[in-house]
Structure 1
Protein backbone atom coordinates (compact mmCIF):
# COMPACT_ATOMS: atom_id res chain seq x y z
CA UNK A 1 0.00 0.00 0.00
CA UNK A 2 2.68 2.49 0.98
CA UNK A 3 5.57 1.28 -1.22
CA UNK A 4 6.31 4.82 -2.37
CA UNK A 5 6.67 6.08 1.18
CA UNK A 6 9.51 3.72 2.12
CA UNK A 7 12.12 5.78 0.25
CA UNK A 8 12.97 9.11 1.97
CA UNK A 9 13.99 10.56 -1.39
CA UNK A 10 10.36 10.37 -2.44
CA UNK A 11 9.15 12.69 0.32
CA UNK A 12 9.31 15.85 -1.82
CA UNK A 13 7.38 14.15 -4.62
CA UNK A 14 4.81 12.83 -2.17
CA UNK A 15 4.33 16.14 -0.34
CA UNK A 16 4.03 18.09 -3.61
CA UNK A 17 1.60 15.55 -5.06
CA UNK A 18 -0.60 15.40 -1.96
CA UNK A 19 -0.81 19.18 -1.62
CA UNK A 20 -2.04 19.43 -5.21
CA UNK A 21 -4.27 16.38 -4.91
CA UNK A 22 -5.90 17.52 -1.64
CA UNK A 23 -6.38 21.08 -2.87
CA UNK A 24 -8.08 20.11 -6.13
CA UNK A 25 -10.07 17.35 -4.42
CA UNK A 26 -11.58 19.77 -1.91
CA UNK A 27 -12.01 22.52 -4.51
CA UNK A 28 -14.03 20.08 -6.64
CA UNK A 29 -16.38 19.39 -3.71
CA UNK A 30 -16.80 23.13 -3.10
CA UNK A 31 -17.32 23.95 -6.78
CA UNK A 32 -19.98 21.32 -7.41
CA UNK A 33 -21.80 22.22 -4.19
CA UNK A 34 -21.78 25.88 -5.21
CA UNK A 35 -23.12 25.03 -8.68
CA UNK A 36 -26.02 23.21 -7.03
CA UNK A 37 -26.84 26.29 -4.95
CA UNK A 38 -24.88 25.78 -1.73
CA UNK A 39 -22.71 28.87 -1.00
CA UNK A 40 -21.39 27.53 2.32
CA UNK A 41 -17.94 26.56 1.10
CA UNK A 42 -17.62 29.72 -1.00
CA UNK A 43 -18.57 31.90 1.97
CA UNK A 44 -15.86 30.22 4.02
CA UNK A 45 -13.22 30.86 1.39
CA UNK A 46 -13.00 27.26 0.21
CA UNK A 47 -13.85 27.91 -3.44
CA UNK A 48 -10.20 28.58 -4.18
CA UNK A 49 -7.05 26.91 -5.47
CA UNK A 50 -5.10 28.27 -2.51
CA UNK A 51 -3.74 25.18 -0.68
CA UNK A 52 -3.62 27.04 2.63
CA UNK A 53 -7.42 27.20 2.66
CA UNK A 54 -7.76 23.44 2.23
CA UNK A 55 -4.89 21.88 4.15
CA UNK A 56 -5.42 20.70 7.72
CA UNK A 57 -2.57 21.80 10.05
CA UNK A 58 -2.00 18.36 11.58
CA UNK A 59 -2.54 16.59 8.26
CA UNK A 60 -0.02 18.92 6.59
CA UNK A 61 2.60 18.33 9.30
CA UNK A 62 2.19 14.59 8.84
CA UNK A 63 2.70 15.02 5.08
CA UNK A 64 6.05 16.65 5.79
CA UNK A 65 7.02 14.06 8.40
CA UNK A 66 5.76 10.74 7.03
CA UNK A 67 4.56 11.62 3.55
CA UNK A 68 0.86 11.21 4.18
CA UNK A 69 -1.88 13.29 5.76
CA UNK A 70 -5.31 14.74 5.09
CA UNK A 71 -7.11 17.93 4.11
CA UNK A 72 -9.92 19.90 5.75
CA UNK A 73 -13.31 18.58 4.63
CA UNK A 74 -15.41 21.05 2.66
CA UNK A 75 -18.60 22.09 4.51
CA UNK A 76 -21.77 21.20 2.61
CA UNK A 77 -25.30 22.27 3.53
CA UNK A 78 -27.75 19.92 1.81
CA UNK A 79 -30.70 22.20 2.56
CA UNK A 80 -29.66 24.44 -0.33
CA UNK A 81 -30.02 21.61 -2.84
CA UNK A 82 -33.25 21.37 -4.82
CA UNK A 83 -32.51 17.69 -5.44
CA UNK A 84 -30.52 16.70 -2.35
CA UNK A 85 -29.85 13.09 -3.35
CA UNK A 86 -28.54 13.85 -6.83
CA UNK A 87 -26.57 16.88 -5.69
CA UNK A 88 -25.19 14.99 -2.71
CA UNK A 89 -23.90 12.15 -4.86
CA UNK A 90 -22.32 14.50 -7.40
CA UNK A 91 -20.71 16.66 -4.72
CA UNK A 92 -19.28 13.57 -3.00
CA UNK A 93 -17.96 11.92 -6.13
CA UNK A 94 -16.44 15.13 -7.52
CA UNK A 95 -13.40 14.89 -5.24
CA UNK A 96 -12.39 11.28 -6.03
CA UNK A 97 -13.02 11.81 -9.74
CA UNK A 98 -10.72 14.83 -9.65
CA UNK A 99 -7.95 12.61 -8.28
CA UNK A 100 -8.61 10.07 -11.04
CA UNK A 101 -8.39 12.81 -13.68
CA UNK A 102 -5.12 14.08 -12.18
CA UNK A 103 -3.67 10.57 -12.40
CA UNK A 104 -4.91 10.25 -15.98
CA UNK A 105 -3.30 13.56 -16.98
CA UNK A 106 -0.01 12.71 -15.25
CA UNK A 107 0.25 9.33 -16.96
CA UNK A 108 -0.69 10.82 -20.32
CA UNK A 109 1.90 13.55 -19.92
CA UNK A 110 4.58 11.04 -18.96
CA UNK A 111 3.86 8.67 -21.84
CA UNK A 112 3.46 11.51 -24.33
CA UNK A 113 6.83 13.02 -23.42
CA UNK A 114 8.63 9.68 -23.44
CA UNK A 115 7.10 8.61 -26.74
CA UNK A 116 7.88 12.03 -28.15
CA UNK A 117 11.54 11.41 -27.48
CA UNK A 118 11.90 13.82 -24.57
CA UNK A 119 14.62 12.71 -22.16
CA UNK A 120 13.06 13.41 -18.79
CA UNK A 121 15.27 14.14 -15.79
CA UNK A 122 14.93 11.72 -12.86
CA UNK A 123 12.97 14.20 -10.73
CA UNK A 124 10.33 14.61 -13.47
CA UNK A 125 9.96 10.84 -13.82
CA UNK A 126 9.68 10.42 -10.06
CA UNK A 127 7.17 13.24 -9.70
CA UNK A 128 4.90 12.09 -12.54
CA UNK A 129 4.94 8.47 -11.38
CA UNK A 130 4.15 9.58 -7.84
CA UNK A 131 1.28 11.74 -9.09
CA UNK A 132 -0.18 8.79 -10.97
CA UNK A 133 0.15 6.35 -8.09
CA UNK A 134 -1.03 8.56 -5.24
CA UNK A 135 -3.97 10.08 -7.10
CA UNK A 136 -5.24 6.62 -8.01
CA UNK A 137 -4.74 5.59 -4.39
CA UNK A 138 -6.74 8.62 -3.21
CA UNK A 139 -9.47 7.87 -5.76
CA UNK A 140 -9.87 4.34 -4.43
CA UNK A 141 -9.36 5.28 -0.79
CA UNK A 142 -12.03 7.98 -0.81
CA UNK A 143 -14.58 5.62 -2.36
CA UNK A 144 -14.34 3.16 0.53
CA UNK A 145 -17.90 3.12 1.96
CA UNK A 146 -16.98 4.07 5.53
CA UNK A 147 -17.66 7.44 7.21
CA UNK A 148 -16.41 10.08 6.84
CA UNK A 149 -15.13 9.11 3.37
CA UNK A 150 -16.85 10.14 0.16
CA UNK A 151 -17.82 6.57 -0.63
CA UNK A 152 -19.99 6.47 2.47
CA UNK A 153 -21.69 9.74 1.59
CA UNK A 154 -22.48 8.39 -1.87
CA UNK A 155 -23.99 5.22 -0.42
CA UNK A 156 -25.98 7.24 2.12
CA UNK A 157 -27.53 9.32 -0.67
CA UNK A 158 -28.36 6.29 -2.80
CA UNK A 159 -30.05 4.09 -0.20
CA UNK A 160 -33.81 4.37 0.47
CA UNK A 161 -34.98 6.97 2.98
CA UNK A 162 -35.87 4.36 5.58
CA UNK A 163 -32.34 2.92 5.49
CA UNK A 164 -30.42 6.18 5.91
CA UNK A 165 -31.26 6.68 9.64
CA UNK A 166 -29.94 3.17 10.30
CA UNK A 167 -26.67 4.08 8.59
CA UNK A 168 -26.41 7.30 10.54
CA UNK A 169 -26.38 5.53 13.90
CA UNK A 170 -23.22 3.67 12.89
CA UNK A 171 -21.33 6.75 11.65
CA UNK A 172 -19.41 7.32 14.93
CA UNK A 173 -17.84 3.88 14.53
CA UNK A 174 -16.68 4.42 10.93
CA UNK A 175 -13.26 5.74 11.88
CA UNK A 176 -12.65 2.91 14.33
CA UNK A 177 -13.68 0.29 11.78
CA UNK A 178 -11.40 1.84 9.19
CA UNK A 179 -8.42 1.83 11.57
CA UNK A 180 -9.04 -1.82 12.38
CA UNK A 181 -9.08 -2.89 8.74
CA UNK A 182 -6.26 -0.54 7.72
CA UNK A 183 -3.53 -0.74 10.37
CA UNK A 184 -4.09 -4.11 12.04
CA UNK A 185 -3.09 -7.48 10.54
CA UNK A 186 -6.54 -7.51 8.95
CA UNK A 187 -5.18 -5.03 6.39
CA UNK A 188 -3.55 -7.87 4.47
CA UNK A 189 -7.04 -9.19 3.77
CA UNK A 190 -8.82 -5.86 3.25
CA UNK A 191 -7.02 -2.63 2.30
CA UNK A 192 -3.81 -4.12 0.91
CA UNK A 193 -5.51 -6.46 -1.60
CA UNK A 194 -7.83 -3.63 -2.65
CA UNK A 195 -4.99 -1.26 -3.46
CA UNK A 196 -2.75 -4.04 -4.72
CA UNK A 197 -5.37 -5.04 -7.28
CA UNK A 198 -7.04 -1.79 -8.23
CA UNK A 199 -4.04 0.55 -8.57
CA UNK A 200 -2.18 -1.62 -11.13
CA UNK A 201 -5.47 -2.29 -12.96
CA UNK A 202 -6.22 1.41 -13.37
CA UNK A 203 -2.62 2.16 -14.34
CA UNK A 204 -2.79 -0.61 -16.94
CA UNK A 205 -6.06 0.77 -18.31
CA UNK A 206 -4.56 4.23 -18.63
CA UNK A 207 -1.49 2.76 -20.28
CA UNK A 208 -3.59 0.87 -22.82
CA UNK A 209 -5.59 4.00 -23.62
CA UNK A 210 -2.54 6.17 -24.18
CA UNK A 211 -0.85 3.35 -26.04
CA UNK A 212 -3.74 3.33 -28.50
CA UNK A 213 -3.80 7.14 -28.58
CA UNK A 214 -0.11 7.34 -29.42
CA UNK A 215 -0.21 4.38 -31.83
CA UNK A 216 1.81 1.96 -29.70
CA UNK A 217 -0.66 -0.94 -29.83
CA UNK A 218 -0.75 -1.46 -33.55
Structure 2
Protein backbone atom coordinates (compact mmCIF):
# COMPACT_ATOMS: atom_id res chain seq x y z
CA UNK A 1 0.00 0.00 0.00
CA UNK A 2 1.32 3.51 -0.85
CA UNK A 3 0.66 4.76 2.69
CA UNK A 4 2.90 2.02 4.08
CA UNK A 5 5.70 3.10 1.73
CA UNK A 6 5.94 6.60 3.20
CA UNK A 7 8.99 5.40 5.16
CA UNK A 8 10.73 4.45 1.87
CA UNK A 9 13.17 7.28 0.89
CA UNK A 10 13.01 6.34 -2.79
CA UNK A 11 9.22 6.49 -2.77
CA UNK A 12 9.22 9.84 -0.96
CA UNK A 13 11.71 11.27 -3.44
CA UNK A 14 9.58 10.01 -6.34
CA UNK A 15 6.51 11.66 -4.80
CA UNK A 16 8.39 14.94 -4.47
CA UNK A 17 9.49 14.82 -8.13
CA UNK A 18 5.93 13.88 -9.14
CA UNK A 19 4.60 16.99 -7.35
CA UNK A 20 7.29 19.25 -8.77
CA UNK A 21 7.45 17.88 -12.30
CA UNK A 22 5.08 15.09 -13.41
CA UNK A 23 1.77 16.59 -12.22
CA UNK A 24 2.61 20.06 -13.61
CA UNK A 25 3.68 18.47 -16.91
CA UNK A 26 0.39 16.51 -17.03
CA UNK A 27 -1.59 19.75 -16.70
CA UNK A 28 0.74 21.67 -19.00
CA UNK A 29 0.03 19.03 -21.67
CA UNK A 30 -3.71 19.76 -21.36
CA UNK A 31 -3.07 23.50 -21.55
CA UNK A 32 -0.61 23.25 -24.45
CA UNK A 33 -2.91 21.06 -26.58
CA UNK A 34 -5.90 23.33 -25.87
CA UNK A 35 -3.85 26.36 -26.91
CA UNK A 36 -2.63 24.61 -30.07
CA UNK A 37 -6.28 23.87 -30.90
CA UNK A 38 -7.15 27.56 -30.64
CA UNK A 39 -8.26 28.14 -27.04
CA UNK A 40 -6.61 31.13 -25.29
CA UNK A 41 -8.24 30.28 -21.93
CA UNK A 42 -5.41 28.24 -20.35
CA UNK A 43 -2.85 31.00 -20.97
CA UNK A 44 -5.28 33.62 -19.71
CA UNK A 45 -5.49 31.72 -16.41
CA UNK A 46 -1.74 31.20 -16.17
CA UNK A 47 -1.82 27.45 -16.76
CA UNK A 48 0.67 27.22 -19.65
CA UNK A 49 3.45 26.78 -17.09
CA UNK A 50 5.46 24.17 -15.20
CA UNK A 51 5.02 26.09 -11.93
CA UNK A 52 3.67 23.40 -9.54
CA UNK A 53 1.69 25.95 -7.51
CA UNK A 54 -0.36 26.87 -10.58
CA UNK A 55 -1.63 23.29 -10.87
CA UNK A 56 -1.77 21.97 -7.28
CA UNK A 57 -5.06 20.56 -5.98
CA UNK A 58 -4.82 19.89 -2.20
CA UNK A 59 -7.25 16.95 -2.17
CA UNK A 60 -5.72 15.36 -5.25
CA UNK A 61 -2.24 15.80 -3.77
CA UNK A 62 -3.34 14.16 -0.50
CA UNK A 63 -4.82 11.22 -2.43
CA UNK A 64 -1.52 10.82 -4.28
CA UNK A 65 0.36 10.56 -0.97
CA UNK A 66 -2.13 8.21 0.70
CA UNK A 67 -3.32 6.08 -2.21
CA UNK A 68 -0.68 6.39 -4.94
CA UNK A 69 -3.03 8.08 -7.40
CA UNK A 70 -4.50 11.56 -7.49
CA UNK A 71 -5.13 14.62 -9.62
CA UNK A 72 -4.16 18.25 -10.10
CA UNK A 73 -6.36 21.31 -10.52
CA UNK A 74 -8.20 21.00 -13.87
CA UNK A 75 -7.07 23.33 -16.63
CA UNK A 76 -9.89 25.72 -17.66
CA UNK A 77 -10.77 25.11 -21.31
CA UNK A 78 -13.49 26.69 -23.45
CA UNK A 79 -14.62 23.92 -25.86
CA UNK A 80 -16.17 26.47 -28.24
CA UNK A 81 -12.72 27.68 -29.24
CA UNK A 82 -11.36 24.23 -30.04
CA UNK A 83 -10.57 23.17 -33.57
CA UNK A 84 -12.33 19.95 -34.72
CA UNK A 85 -15.37 20.80 -32.57
CA UNK A 86 -15.98 20.77 -28.83
CA UNK A 87 -16.27 16.99 -28.33
CA UNK A 88 -13.28 15.90 -30.41
CA UNK A 89 -11.24 18.88 -29.22
CA UNK A 90 -11.91 18.08 -25.57
CA UNK A 91 -11.06 14.41 -26.18
CA UNK A 92 -7.66 15.46 -27.55
CA UNK A 93 -7.10 17.85 -24.64
CA UNK A 94 -8.21 15.21 -22.12
CA UNK A 95 -5.99 12.48 -23.52
CA UNK A 96 -2.85 14.65 -23.49
CA UNK A 97 -2.33 14.44 -19.72
CA UNK A 98 -2.45 10.64 -19.26
CA UNK A 99 -0.33 10.15 -22.39
CA UNK A 100 2.27 12.45 -20.83
CA UNK A 101 2.35 10.30 -17.68
CA UNK A 102 2.76 7.13 -19.77
CA UNK A 103 5.61 8.81 -21.66
CA UNK A 104 7.29 9.70 -18.34
CA UNK A 105 6.80 6.11 -17.14
CA UNK A 106 8.41 4.89 -20.38
CA UNK A 107 11.43 7.13 -19.81
CA UNK A 108 11.61 5.75 -16.27
CA UNK A 109 11.62 2.17 -17.60
CA UNK A 110 14.53 2.97 -19.95
CA UNK A 111 16.44 4.62 -17.10
CA UNK A 112 15.68 1.68 -14.78
CA UNK A 113 17.02 -0.84 -17.28
CA UNK A 114 20.18 1.23 -17.78
CA UNK A 115 20.68 1.51 -14.00
CA UNK A 116 20.05 -2.21 -13.59
CA UNK A 117 22.94 -2.97 -15.95
CA UNK A 118 25.45 -1.29 -13.64
CA UNK A 119 23.77 -1.99 -10.29
CA UNK A 120 25.96 -5.05 -9.72
CA UNK A 121 29.09 -2.87 -9.87
CA UNK A 122 27.80 0.28 -8.19
CA UNK A 123 25.40 0.86 -5.31
CA UNK A 124 22.42 1.85 -7.47
CA UNK A 125 19.75 0.45 -5.14
CA UNK A 126 18.43 3.91 -4.09
CA UNK A 127 18.29 4.93 -7.76
CA UNK A 128 16.39 1.76 -8.66
CA UNK A 129 13.94 2.36 -5.79
CA UNK A 130 13.32 5.90 -6.98
CA UNK A 131 12.85 4.88 -10.61
CA UNK A 132 10.53 2.02 -9.67
CA UNK A 133 8.32 4.37 -7.64
CA UNK A 134 8.44 6.97 -10.45
CA UNK A 135 7.31 4.40 -13.02
CA UNK A 136 4.43 2.97 -11.01
CA UNK A 137 3.15 6.33 -9.75
CA UNK A 138 3.07 7.74 -13.29
CA UNK A 139 1.23 4.65 -14.52
CA UNK A 140 -1.22 4.99 -11.62
CA UNK A 141 -1.84 8.63 -12.50
CA UNK A 142 -2.41 7.80 -16.17
CA UNK A 143 -4.79 4.91 -15.54
CA UNK A 144 -6.72 6.65 -12.76
CA UNK A 145 -7.20 9.80 -14.82
CA UNK A 146 -8.44 7.73 -17.77
CA UNK A 147 -11.38 6.35 -15.79
CA UNK A 148 -14.54 7.46 -17.64
CA UNK A 149 -15.89 9.50 -14.72
CA UNK A 150 -16.28 13.28 -14.65
CA UNK A 151 -14.19 15.32 -14.00
CA UNK A 152 -11.38 12.88 -14.95
CA UNK A 153 -9.71 12.91 -18.36
CA UNK A 154 -11.22 9.61 -19.43
CA UNK A 155 -14.67 11.20 -19.29
CA UNK A 156 -13.64 13.76 -21.93
CA UNK A 157 -11.98 11.15 -24.10
CA UNK A 158 -14.99 8.81 -24.06
CA UNK A 159 -17.35 11.69 -24.69
CA UNK A 160 -15.40 12.51 -27.84
CA UNK A 161 -15.55 8.91 -29.05
CA UNK A 162 -19.26 8.33 -28.49
CA UNK A 163 -21.89 9.07 -31.15
CA UNK A 164 -23.46 12.54 -30.63
CA UNK A 165 -26.71 11.27 -29.07
CA UNK A 166 -24.93 9.06 -26.56
CA UNK A 167 -22.37 11.79 -25.86
CA UNK A 168 -25.17 14.24 -25.06
CA UNK A 169 -26.79 11.77 -22.65
CA UNK A 170 -23.41 10.94 -21.12
CA UNK A 171 -22.75 14.65 -20.56
CA UNK A 172 -25.58 14.76 -18.02
CA UNK A 173 -23.34 12.85 -15.63
CA UNK A 174 -21.04 15.87 -15.37
CA UNK A 175 -23.29 17.57 -12.82
CA UNK A 176 -22.80 14.57 -10.52
CA UNK A 177 -19.06 14.22 -11.22
CA UNK A 178 -17.67 14.84 -7.71
CA UNK A 179 -20.32 12.57 -6.17
CA UNK A 180 -19.61 9.78 -8.66
CA UNK A 181 -15.88 10.06 -8.07
CA UNK A 182 -16.36 9.96 -4.31
CA UNK A 183 -18.64 6.91 -4.65
CA UNK A 184 -16.03 5.17 -6.79
CA UNK A 185 -13.28 5.85 -4.25
CA UNK A 186 -15.46 4.49 -1.43
CA UNK A 187 -16.29 1.35 -3.43
CA UNK A 188 -12.67 0.97 -4.44
CA UNK A 189 -11.61 0.68 -0.80
CA UNK A 190 -14.01 -2.22 -0.37
CA UNK A 191 -13.68 -3.97 -3.72
CA UNK A 192 -10.25 -3.02 -5.07
CA UNK A 193 -11.72 -1.88 -8.38
CA UNK A 194 -8.82 0.34 -9.37
CA UNK A 195 -6.25 -2.30 -8.46
CA UNK A 196 -7.91 -4.76 -10.82
CA UNK A 197 -7.52 -2.20 -13.62
CA UNK A 198 -3.97 -1.24 -12.66
CA UNK A 199 -2.64 -4.79 -12.24
CA UNK A 200 -2.15 -5.59 -15.97
CA UNK A 201 -0.40 -2.24 -16.55
CA UNK A 202 1.87 -2.74 -13.54
CA UNK A 203 2.62 -6.29 -14.68
CA UNK A 204 3.55 -5.10 -18.18
CA UNK A 205 5.76 -2.36 -16.76
CA UNK A 206 7.53 -4.85 -14.47
CA UNK A 207 8.24 -7.17 -17.38
CA UNK A 208 9.61 -4.29 -19.48
CA UNK A 209 11.79 -3.17 -16.55
CA UNK A 210 13.42 -6.61 -16.33
CA UNK A 211 13.76 -7.66 -19.97
Q: Shorter-chain TM-score: what band?
A: 0.7 to 0.9
Report if aligned partners of 1:92, 1:153 keep a CA contact under 8 Å in 2.
yes
TM superposition shift of 1:14: 4.5
Q: Which moved more, 1:83-92 or 1:101-110?
A: 83-92
Q: 2:109 aligned with 1:107, yes or no?
A: yes
SS at match of 1:196: helix
Report the counterpart of residue 151 of structure 2 in structure 1: 148
* Alignment partners' CA distance in 2, 1:119 and 1:51: 33
* Aligned CA-pair RMSD: 2.5
Structure 2's unaligned 5+ residue stretches are none
* Alignment partners' CA distance in 2, 1:170 and 1:101: 30
Q: Which residue among 126, 130, 141 is the counterpart of 1:138?
A: 141
TM superposition shift of 1:18: 2.8
* Alignment partners' CA distance in 1, 2:56 and 2:104: 18
TM superposition shift of 1:145: 0.7
TM superposition shift of 1:179: 3.1
**Cα deviation 1:25-45 (Å, max 9, x = unaligned):** 000000111111111111111
**Equivalences, count:** 205
Report the counterpart of residue 84 of structure 2 in structure 1: 83
* Counterparts in 2 of 1:67 and 1:142: CA distance versus 1, 3 Å: closer
Structure 1's unaligned 5+ residue stretches are 212-218
* Alignment partners' CA distance in 1, 2:193 and 2:67: 22
**Cα deviation 1:103-142 (Å, max 9, x = unaligned):** 0101111111221456254432221111100001111111
Report if aligned partners of 1:181, 1:191 keep a CA contact under 8 Å in 2.
no
Report the counterpart of residue 6 of structure 1 in structure 2: 4
TM-score (norm 1): 0.82
* Alignment partners' CA distance in 1, 2:7 and 2:138: 19
Q: 2:28 aligned with 1:18, yes or no?
A: no
TM superposition shift of 1:65: 6.5
Q: 2:129 aligned with 1:126, yes or no?
A: yes
SS at match of 1:165: helix
SS at match of 1:102: helix
Q: Which moved more, 1:123-132 or 1:5-14?
A: 5-14
Report if aligned partners of 2:116, 2:128 keep a CA contact under 8 Å in 1.
no
TM superposition shift of 1:76: 0.8
SS at match of 2:165: coil
Q: Which moved more, 1:159-168 or 1:43-52?
A: 159-168
SS at match of 2:7: helix
TM superposition shift of 1:67: 6.8
TM-score (norm 2): 0.84
* Alignment partners' CA distance in 2, 1:71 and 1:185: 20
